[in-house]
Structure 1
Amino acid sequence: MNNVSLIGRLTKDPELRYTPSGVAVARFTLAVNRTFSNQQGERQADFINIVTWRKTAENTANFLRKGSLAGIVGHIQTGSYDGQDGKRVFTVEVVAENVQFLEPKSTQSAPNGNGNTNGYQQQQNAPQSNYGGQEAFNQSVKIDEDDLPF
């Protein structure tokens, strides 16, 4: 069984691209707080690479921005590729099959003016893929416990 459920905030705007055959793919990193604090009382976060496909990718890129709170349901996918230096690079990412926008639209900016009146957007049924070749993310974003909905 390979199931993942995450809630966190985007560390930057999603990056939307298209495959040579025209299939939309969006990538972003989700900062997810750990359930414990370190010895200094600070809460740490994990930075998890997410990929979405087709309409889910387009909606994610149109409606989510850096700092947006999102819920992700999907599966873990591993892969590898040869880096520019000739060394093997191993990847781990979550392929999101369902993305829940967890904040009202009024707190986010939708650049295309799509007119979503209920304030939330949901996408489902992203296909499995084998899209490799991503850069590593070495970022640090602090998320307060008050930012999480639970």
Structure 2
Amino acid sequence: MLNRVILIGRLTRDPELRYTPSGVAVTQFTLAVDRPFTGQGGEREADFIPVVTWRQLAETCANYLRKGRLTAVEGRIQVRNYENNEGKRVYVTEVIADNVRFLESSNREGSSGGMREESPFGGGGESRNNNFSRSNQDPFSDDGKPIDISDDDLPF
């Protein structure tokens, strides 16, 4: 059996960080994910999917995610239920995330079109440039030149 989901969307509001009575961090936020088709009026529709993160990931999300940021979430779908104040059974479907990627930040470079990403693990405001530098090019990109490999380089 498999219960795995990957979503890319934008946060509808800032994450809400709370702590359980035993001190475990939990963050909740909603991801707006575009549907792959347009509605009858020609406008794009979206699904609003609740996401929950726990422990260190919850604190990191609360510190670095903001409303409107493009974010990738990987996790599993969970359905839980509870009885509300009126005695009715309420069912909640949500994604329990175990991996969250920050795909953009609020720090955007001017007209160059490049994005800078805040590092949630770096010290005070360090940022990482997502554009490849000349010394950090993709070694597997095809530049049109023949590849020079000797027979000693081959594993067979």
TM-score (norm 2): 0.70
Deviations 1:50-75 (A, max 9, x none): 00001100010100111011000000
Deviations 1:13-70 (A, max 9, x none): 0000000111000000000000000121111000000000011000101001110110
**Corresponding residue of 1:81:** 82
**Corresponding residue of 2:40:** 39
The one-letter code of the counterpart of 2:128 is N
**Corresponding residue of 1:13:** 14
- Give me the whole-angstrom Cα distance separating, in 2, the residues matched to 1:46 and 1:74: 17
Residues paired across the two proteins, number: 118
SS in 1 for 2:127: coil
1:1-150 mapped onto 2 (5 Å cutoff): 1-104=2-105, 106-107=107-108, 114-118=124-128
- Give me the whole-angstrom Cα distance separating, in 1, the residues matched to 2:96 and 2:78: 7
Question: What is the CA RMSD across the aligned residues, in angstroms?
Answer: 2.1
List, as ranges, runs of 4+ consecutive aligned residues in structure 1 with deviation greater than 3 Å.
Answer: 107-110
> CA contact under 8 A between 2:70 and 2:103: conserved in structure 1?
yes
TM-score (norm 1): 0.73
**Corresponding residue of 1:129:** none
**Corresponding residue of 1:145:** none
The one-letter code of the counterpart of 1:106 is N
Shift of 1:109: 8.8
- Give me the whole-angstrom Cα distance separating, in 2, the residues matched to 1:66 and 1:105: 10
> CA contact under 8 A between 1:106 and 1:119: conserved in structure 2?
no
Q: Is there any run of 5+ residues in structure 2 with no aligned partner, and where?
A: 109-116, 131-156
Choose between structure 1 and 2 for higher RCO, CA contacts under 8 A separated by at least 6 residues: 1
Distance 1:11 1:61, change over 3 A: same
The one-letter code of the counterpart of 1:33 is D
Q: Is there any run of 5+ residues in structure 1 with no aligned partner, and where?
A: 121-150
Mark the structure with the bigger radius of gyration. 2
- Give me the whole-angstrom Cα distance separating, in 2, the residues matched to 1:19 and 1:4: 25
Shift of 1:117: 2.4
Distance 1:48 1:84, change over 3 A: same
Shift of 1:115: 2.7
The one-letter code of the counterpart of 1:117 is S
